Structure 1
Amino acid sequence: MTHAIKILMILTSQATRGADPRPTGVWFEEVSTPYYAFIDAGAHVDIASITGGQIPVDPHSQQAEGKNPASVERFLKDPAAMAKLQSSLKIDHVSADGYTAIFLPGGHGTMWDLPQSTTLASLLSSAWAKGKVVSAVCHGPAGLINVRDINGQPLVAGRRVSAFTNTEEDAAGLSATVPFLLETRLRQLGAHYERGDDFQPFAVRDGKLVSGQNPASSEEVARLVLQAAAE
Structure 2
Amino acid sequence: MAKGKVLVIGSNATRIELQGGGWAPTGQYLNETVVPAMALIEAGYDVVLATPDGTKPHIDELSDSAGHFGGDETALAQARAFWAENPAMNAVRTLHEVIADGLDGYAGLFFPGGHAPAVDLMQDAEVGTILRHFHERAKPTALLCHGPIAVAAAMPHAREFRAALVAGDAGKAAEWAKGWQYAGYRMTVFSASEEKIVEDNVLHARLYFYMPDALHIAGGEVVTGTIDFEPHVIVDRELITGQNPRSDHPIAKALVEALDRARATA
CA distance in 2 between partners of 1:69 and 1:124 (Å)? 36
State the AA in 1 paired with 2:235.
R
Instruction: Give the equivalent residue in structure 2 for 1:76.
Output: 80
State whether residues 10 and 49 of structure 2, in contact with CA within 8 Å, keep that contact through their aligned partners in structure 1: yes
Q: Which has more helix, going by share of residues?
A: 2
State the AA in 2 paired with 1:165.
S
Q: Which has the larger radius of gyration?
A: 2
Asked whether 1:169 is paired with 2:199, we answer no
Instruction: Give the equivalent residue in structure 2 for 1:182.
Output: 211
Deviation at residue 123 of structure 1 after TM alignment: 1.2
Deviation at residue 71 of structure 1 after TM alignment: 4.7
State the AA in 1 paired with 2:213.
T
State whether residues 166 and 175 of structure 1, in contact with CA within 8 Å, keep that contact through their aligned partners in structure 2: no
TM-score, normalised on structure 1? 0.88
CA distance in 1 between partners of 2:216 and 2:80 (Å)? 37
State whether residues 121 and 147 of structure 1, in contact with CA within 8 Å, keep that contact through their aligned partners in structure 2: yes
Deviation at residue 207 of structure 1 after TM alignment: 1.4
Deviation at residue 220 of structure 1 after TM alignment: 0.9
Deviation at residue 80 of structure 1 after TM alignment: 7.3
State the AA in 2 paired with 1:229.
L
Deviation at residue 68 of structure 1 after TM alignment: 6.0
Aligned match for 1:123, one of 124, 127, 130: 130
State the AA in 1 paired with 2:243.
Q
CA distance in 2 between partners of 1:136 and 1:69 (Å)? 26
Q: SS in structure 2 opposite 1:205?
A: strand
State the AA in 1 paired with 2:196.
D
Deviation at residue 124 of structure 1 after TM alignment: 0.8
CA distance in 1 between partners of 2:151 and 2:253 (Å)? 20
Instruction: Give the equivalent residue in structure 2 for 1:216.
Output: 246
In structure 2, relative to structure 1, the CA distance for the partners of 1:79 and 1:170 (3 Å cut) is closer
Instruction: Give the equivalent residue in structure 1 for 2:30.
Output: 28
Instruction: Give the equivalent residue in structure 2 for 1:144.
Output: 151
Instruction: Give the equivalent residue in structure 1 for 2:98.
Output: 94
In structure 2, relative to structure 1, the CA distance for the partners of 1:206 and 1:81 (3 Å cut) is farther
What is the RMSD of the two structures over their aligned residues, measured on CA atoms? Answer: 2.5
Deviation at residue 39 of structure 1 after TM alignment: 1.1
CA distance in 2 between partners of 1:59 and 1:120 (Å)? 25
Deviation at residue 70 of structure 1 after TM alignment: 5.3
> Mean alpha-carbon deviation: is it higher for 160-169 or for 129-138?
129-138
In structure 2, relative to structure 1, the CA distance for the partners of 1:41 and 1:70 (3 Å cut) is farther
Deviation at residue 79 of structure 1 after TM alignment: 7.2
CA distance in 2 between partners of 1:183 and 1:79 (Å)? 29
Deviations 1:151-170 (A, max 9, x none): x8323311110000011110
Aligned-residue sequence identity (percent) comes to: 27
State the AA in 2 paired with 1:16.
R
